[in-house]
Amino acid sequence: MRVFRGKSLFTVLLALIVSLSILPIFKLEAHAATVNASTLAELQLAINDATDATEIVLTADIPLTATVTVPSGKDSTLSGGFTLTRTNSAIALDIKEGASLTWEDIILDGNAKDTNYKSAVINNQGKLTINGGEVKNINSTSPMVGIVTAKGPNAVLTMNGGSIHDNHMSNQFTSVVKIIEGASFVMNGGDISNNTLEHGGSNGLNAAVSVEGNRGSSTMEMNGGTITGNSAEYGGILVGTFSTNYT
């Protein structure tokens, strides 16, 4: 009796190859990593250590005793529904050029703290997307401040939801949302509401939103959302340049 072992093995291998070749090919989907943070140190470490898009879930309210920085190349999402509370006049969040931050349901409470000259509470030179949450209770007495500032030709602020409300500013060249030096602002939803901007310098020269033409062509596209109930010398939106020439 002759046994064709080599031929039988070849037949089995051939059948296996054919079977594998007709199996459907499934594409693996990439999912963002998720990291919890309950302190300022953990929050900053989670941002710094991220190698890909990372969702950082706050698990407690956090006092901001220092600036949270999103370095270039980092892509972070903040969620969890807790509150970040300012404790001083420093920038709360600094998003560097080439960085990306998505803001979900976090509350930034200004705690009635002041700001520094020509500064911001959220300073964005990269990409900031606001999908929810709140920015409230900032009390700024310094000139040339934007509570949420987008600065530079590569800076993009996108507002899909959330609320920037009940903030107080009392100096000149100030805005709740300040778009400068060629930055872009796209508003699809959410609200900028009930903010008060008063005279504090020689002139008011303030607006709830300013899209300024100095040092680059800044832009704003409004597809939805509301800008309402704000009190400012230049009203809800200024497009152009602040000027003391009223003629």
Q: Write down the pLDDT at residue 21.
A: 46
Q: How many CB atoms lie within 10 A of CB 37?
A: 21
Distance CA 1, CA 31 (A): 59
Distance CA 175, CA 172 (A): 9
> 247 vs 134, which has greater pLDDT?
134
Q: Write down the pLDDT at residue 41.
A: 98
Q: Write down the pLDDT at residue 1.
A: 43
What is the CA angle 157-83-88, rounded to 5? 80
Predicted TM-score of the model (pTM):
0.85
- CA max distance for the chain: 112
Mean residue pLDDT across the chain: 88
DSSP label at residue 112: T
Confidence of residue 242 (pLDDT cuts 50, 70, 90): confident
Distance CA 195, CA 151 (A): 21
Q: Write down the pLDDT at residue 203.
A: 67
Q: How many CB atoms lie within 10 A of CB 194?
A: 16
Q: Write down the pLDDT at residue 4.
A: 39
With 80 as the cut, is the pLDDT of residue 9 above it? no
